[in-house]
């Protein structure tokens, strides 16, 4: 799963979203709509579909331009969770480049405000939160930013290690300060070995089997 996580302000709540989804199936006339996948106590799982018109200009070998108009369909699954403290988390699987149409149409369907922002993940804390769920957690790749060696020296650094890249970094540069921008992790448990990627801007890639464990860790950043 390649996912994008957001915090959301949504006064209509889960019930309001559920009613809007079942009352707004995809309609070819308006070109967008939803389908419900599941509705549980703390979350809704749904699919969003939007028809988008695309214009392309083709230039032939003689320099002649021809414009073609066609339609494509933007489709993705999303989850809308009620997190602890009354906050909401929006998770989009395989998100498109822009979700402006999605946000606008949720507002139309629910007649409610709907504001989202990237869920900022502090990766060092994320690793700390998920570690108890596994027998072994290692960082094999890491991108560090705001890396400060002294008042005169700073930069960005990408690391790759067969052991743990963050531990290696701290052992080599004991006094360096840095922010972890993104990592590629390996986790091991009785079920086997898994790989996941985490970006501080709320992008996470992982297998579906890890969803509950990932959610329990990310949810802490909404408190």
**33 and 90 co-located in one domain:** yes
Per DSSP, the residues of 96-156 read -S--HHHHHHHHHHHTS--EEEE----HHHHHHHHGGGSSEEEEEEEEEEEEEEETTEEEE
**32 and 83 co-located in one domain:** yes
**98 and 182 co-located in one domain:** no
List pLDDT tens digits, range 49-62: 999 988 999 998 98
Query: How close are the terminal C-alpha atoms of the chain, in Å?
Result: 25
* Model confidence, pTM: 0.89
99 within some domain = yes
- pLDDT of 125 higher than 70: yes
**166 and 75 co-located in one domain:** no
Q: How many CB atoms lie within 10 A of CB 66?
A: 9
**84 and 172 co-located in one domain:** no
**7 and 67 co-located in one domain:** yes
**107 and 62 co-located in one domain:** yes
131 within some domain = yes
Q: Decide if 3 contacts 204 (C-beta within 8 A).
A: yes
List pLDDT tens digits, range 154-191: 788 898 998 889 888 888 877 778 899 999 999 998 87
**52 and 135 co-located in one domain:** no
Residue with tokens 């890639």: 205
**87 and 9 co-located in one domain:** yes
Average pLDDT in the chain: 92
Tell me which residue range forms the domain holding 133.
123-201+215-222
Domain count, the chain: 2
């Amino acid at each position: 799963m390649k996912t994008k996580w957001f915090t959301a302000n949504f006064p209509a709540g889960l019930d309001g979203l559920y009613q809007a989804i079942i009352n707004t199936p995809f309609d070819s006339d308006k070109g967008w709509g939803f389908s419900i996948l599941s509705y549980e106590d703390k979350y809704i799982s749904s699919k969003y579909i939007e028809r988008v018109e695309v214009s392309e200009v083709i230039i032939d070998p003689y320099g002649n331009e021809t414009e073609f108009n066609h339609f494509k369909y933007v489709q993705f699954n999303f989850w809308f969770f009620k997190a602890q403290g009354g906050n909401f988390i929006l998770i989009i699987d395989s998100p498109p480049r822009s979700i402006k149409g999605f946000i606008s149409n949720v507002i139309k369907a629910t007649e409610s405000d709907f504001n989202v922002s990237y869920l900022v993940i502090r990766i060092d804390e994320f690793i700390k939160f998920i570690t108890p769920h596994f027998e072994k957690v290692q960082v094999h790749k890491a991108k560090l930013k705001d890396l400060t060696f002294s008042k005169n020296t700073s930069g960005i650094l990408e690391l790759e290690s067969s052991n743990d890249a963050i531990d290696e970094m701290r052992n080599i540069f004991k006094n360096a300060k840095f922010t972890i921008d993104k990592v590629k992790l390996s986790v091991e448990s009785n079920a086997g070995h898994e790989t996941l990627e985490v970006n501080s801007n709320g992008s996470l890639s992982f297998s579906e089997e890890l969803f509950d464990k990932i959610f329990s860790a990310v949810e802490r950043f909404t408190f």
